[in-house]
Structure 1
Amino acid sequence: MTIAPAEYRQRREALLEKIGGGTALFRSAPMAVMHNDVEYSFRQDSDFYYLTGFDEPSAVAVFTPHHEEHQFVLFVQPKDPEKETWVGLRAGVDAAKERYGADIAYSIDELDEKLPQYIEKADRIYHRMGRDRAFDTKVIAHWQRQLAKYQKEGRGPIALEDPRAIFHPLRMVKSPAELALMRRAAEIAVDAHARAFEVTRPGCYEYEIQAELEYVFRKRGALGPAYPSIVASGVNACILHYIENSRQMQDSDLLLIDAGCSYDYYNSDITRTFPVGGRFTTEQKLLYELVLEAQQQAIAEVKPGNPYNAFHDKAVRVLVEGFVELGILKGNVDQLIEEEKYKPYYMHRTGHWLGVDVHDVGAYKLGDDRWQPLQPGHVLTVEPGIYIAPDVKPAEDQPEVDDRWRGIGIRIEDDVLVTAAGQEVLTAALPKSVEDMERRNVAWVQ
């Protein structure tokens, strides 16, 4: 299960059409250092990988629709048997062309020599600044040399432009092959969450549950976690990106697990919250039911043509109505929403795009007043929550929080595909009802 070479070619053709008379440059990700001379496992830059499928560092991809022979050019590390003995095999120049569909490939050492021929006739250079200072400096130097020739030749790149505005919309709509990978990532993550649910007991440490999750990820063929796994028990669940995962769980705790995996570069992202001891307290159950209702109503708003903010607005309204009913907030619901009086207890948006990046690319708004309309092929998360920290301070003119609510953190998150008919919840196989979370029926974890 992977992306076929023909699909990578189609992606490049779509980009070439978008950039017209320009030249686009994409730099591979750098190797990241863990400590001293020990490096992290390499993870390719998402844009670079999306266009090439090439999974090595120290590479540059050049796209030149105006060049007579070479529209797709790769600069890569050459073969080097001695270095490959230490750090792994390289494709090399010849294989970069044959295996990855480049019109021509060069050694990365030839970049300065060869690049001018691919930018000298361009009307602009597309390059994303700010990610690699050394490469930014190199691109600017080449651009300035071309600008110096402009008065004499009357041609060349007179602008340096970020490619994201024209390129990232192409990544937003997922192809059938991409969706197959995302379904696989979702399936593996569902199994991992089910395993975590099955083994969680009072007295376990959060890191033990993290180990169970990530064991399933790797055993089932995922590259590993899509992001640092959040295994947050008790008051830790009120910390949105808690990753220490070191606390020993108690019988009365809720356990919030936010964990997904990466499968061939495509990601899943799931959150479930359940009682460690097998039963919600009255207060935990009331808040859990409120979050679940907010999520279910929000998911119903994920459909073609709806603006991106519709599902968030629905979740906020349900939560605020619930807060008023429970006495956590007081006042008119519309006014409470307008004045954001709910923010001490729900401080994040209800979702994000999902794909090659966990927080995938693409604009959420198209100008000041217009939200991105949803369309078939978009994939996003729907993840409302309630977080009432032990030391929470209510918004101005709002009541103090009763001690019985303090220390409760709950989030429920699923991955949702926009379809022509509405939506498909890719992670629907993982239960979330009160009954399932209280272990009254554990058949789903067998």
Structure 2
Amino acid sequence: MTDCPDPTLGFSPDTFAERRKRVLAGLGGSALVLSSGANSAGGRPRPDRDLFYLTGVTEPGAVAVLRADGNDGDFVLFVRPRNPEEERWSGIRLGPERAQESFHADAAYGNDTLSEHLPRLLAEAEDVYFRIGTETPVERLVVGALQTARLRGARKGVGPRGIIDPGRLLDPMRLKKNTEELERMGRAGAITVKAFTKMLGAAGPGVGEWELEGVIEGAFRQQGAGGPAYPTIVGSGTNACVLHYVDNNRTVQEGDLILVDAGAEVDLYASDVTRTFPANGSFTAAQRAIYEVVLEGHHRALKSIRPGVTVGSIHDAARPSVCTASDAFPARAQAP
């Protein structure tokens, strides 16, 4: 299996080990369960970000269990077992043996044995950190562990009694990025800027929104990104006023403004850029006036950014110029 790509996307194993060490220290007597979910039929899997953050695992169907001094060690991993027939259709799997080696787990099992092992691994945990609402077999097993503890706890005093969202531990950690993360974020941003530049050269009246979408997403891939970080928005004319417009099926008309919201993803780290520009290369007087108002708010927001400020305060810095100027532009409904 030497032809397989690096399963941890080039991140240092020490990065994941250090993160797990911090989480294990915060768990106390509780356990953390993270699941990647199953791959959607016919589409690329979307790895679970929390699972990757602590383990480096991107395979669909994977489950990680962390508990200090737990049964089978601090870090137990479940992955899809090897299956030559299924791998012929969906690609090579790591399997438990290689997964244990690649991700430095204390133990690894096939995910077809979850119902056998997970209840045992959670049996003596005080609480379970797990994101509910997934309606997966993993969630049913976690809830089952709580139900068992409720029935037996009065006599034995053991077993989990509550479910806590993993964000309580992970969200503060993920706010600060290390050098490996910053490098990928910077690369995603640089790729996005170049892709926008290429897309601008293709824009103009008579071009389909879908064509601009294709140009920008193709440029992401050409430069080595994994693809778009989220569905690309290309809205022309009144479509630009729809906040999450993703149909991208209108032909650009003379005099239109075009809004493009897109970003490349590099090793699961995303960029996010939005720009609005005239289809024919020249603003009308009214278009330029509104554009300058928004640009002023943008500059005010940038100037307010410094260590210690909140996202809300940055938003508030931009509002006065936009809200004050908006009084000069009466609302006008436009037919599509």
CA contact (8 A) 2:145 2:160 kept: no
> Could you report, residue by residue, the CA deviation over 1:213-244 in whole angstroms, capped at 9, with x for unpaired residues?
01101111111111111111111111111111
SS in 2 for 1:240: coil
Given the two structures, how large is their TM-score scaled by the length of structure 2?
Answer: 0.93
Q: Which residue of 2 aligns with 1:64?
A: 67
Task: Tell me, yes or no, if the aligned pair for 1:20 and 1:66 is still in contact at 8 Å.
Answer: no
Q: Does 2:157 match 1:213?
A: no
Aligned to 1:86: 89
Name the aligned partner's letter for residue 278 of structure 1: G
**What letter corresponds to residue 260 of structure 1 in structure 2?**
G
Percent pairwise identity: 38
Structure 1 distance, partners of 2:35, 2:195, is 34
TM-score of the aligned structures, taking structure 1 as reference length = 0.70
Q: Which moved more, 1:196-205 or 1:290-299?
A: 196-205
Aligned twin of 1:8: 16
2:47 is equivalent to residue 21 of structure 1: no
User: d(CA) in 2 for partners of 1:98 and 1:63?
Assistant: 17
Cα drift, residue 287 of structure 1: 0.4
CA distance in 1, matches of 2:119, 2:230: 39
1:390, distance to aligned residue in structure 2 (A): 2.1
Query: Is the aligned partner of 1:390 residue 2:334?
Result: yes
**Alignment match, 2:317:** 314
- Checking the alignment, whether the CA contact within 8 Å between 1:2 and 1:177 is kept in structure 2 is no
CA 1:2–1:181: 2 relative to 1, 3 Å: farther
Structure with a larger share of its residues in helix: 2
- Rounded Cα–Cα distance in structure 2 between residues aligned with 1:61 and 1:327: 54
Contact 2:119 2:142 in 1 (8 A): no
Superposed CA deviations along residues 92-134 of structure 1, whole A, max 9, x for unmatched, are: 0111110011111011122222223322221111111101343
Partner of 2:38: 30
2:111 matched to 1:108? yes
**Partner of residue 308, structure 2:** 305
In structure 2, relative to structure 1, the CA distance for the partners of 1:323 and 1:257 (3 Å cut) is same
Deviation at 1:327, TM superposition (A): 4.9
1:95 matched residue in structure 2: 98
Tell whether 2:138 aligns with 1:142: no
Work out the CA distance in 2 between the residues paired with 1:2 and 1:297: 38
Question: Quick one: distance in 2 between partners of 1:389 and 1:303?
Answer: 39
Residue of structure 2 aligned with 1:234, choices 209, 221, 237? 237
Cα deviation for residue 2 of structure 1 reads 3.4
Structure 2 residue matching 1:280: 3-state secondary structure: coil
Alignment-mate amino acid for residue 11 of structure 1: R
Aligned equivalents of 2:52 and 2:87: distance in 1?
21
Per-residue CA deviation, residues 290-319 of structure 1 (Å, 9 max, x unaligned), is 000000101111211223211111211110
Cα distance in 2 between the residues matched to 1:194 and 1:32: 33
Q: Deviations over 1:147-167 (max 9, x none)?
A: 333223222222222222222
**Gap runs ≥5 in structure 2:** 1-8
Contact 1:66–1:121, Cα closer than 8 Å, also in 2: no
Residue number in structure 2 paired with 1:123: 126
Q: Which of 154, 165, 189 is equivalent to 1:162?
A: 165
Q: Deviations over 1:331-365 (max 9, x none)?
A: xxxxxxxxxxxxxx8xxxxxxxxxxxxxxxxxxxx
Unaligned residue ranges in structure 1 (runs of 5+): 34-38, 329-344, 346-387, 392-406, 408-446
Describe the SS at the equivalent of 1:115. Answer: helix
Q: CA RMSD in A?
A: 1.8
Residue 246 of structure 1 is aligned with which of 242, 246, 249? 249
Larger RCO (alpha carbons 8 Å, 6+ apart): 1
Distance 1:165 1:14 in 2: 13
Q: CA deviation at 1:54?
A: 1.2
Partner of 1:55: 58
Contact in 1 for aligned 2:126/2:159 (Cα 8 Å): yes
Which letter maps to 2:147?
Q
Task: Give the partner amino acid of 1:152.
Answer: R
Q: Counterparts of 1:134 and 1:72 in 2: how far apart (Å)?
A: 20
Q: CA deviation at 1:66?
A: 3.4
Aligned twin of 1:422? none
Match of 1:380 in 2: none
The question of whether the paired residues in 2 share the 8 Å contact of 1:238 and 1:389 is answered with no
Deviation at 1:389, TM superposition (A): 5.1
CA contact (8 A) 1:235 1:389 kept: no
Distance 2:107 2:136 in 1: 26
The number of residues matched between the two structures is 328
- Quickly say closer, same or farther: Cα 1:117–1:3, change in 2 above 3 A: same
Distance 1:178 1:132 in 2: 31
Q: SS of 2:311's equivalent?
A: coil
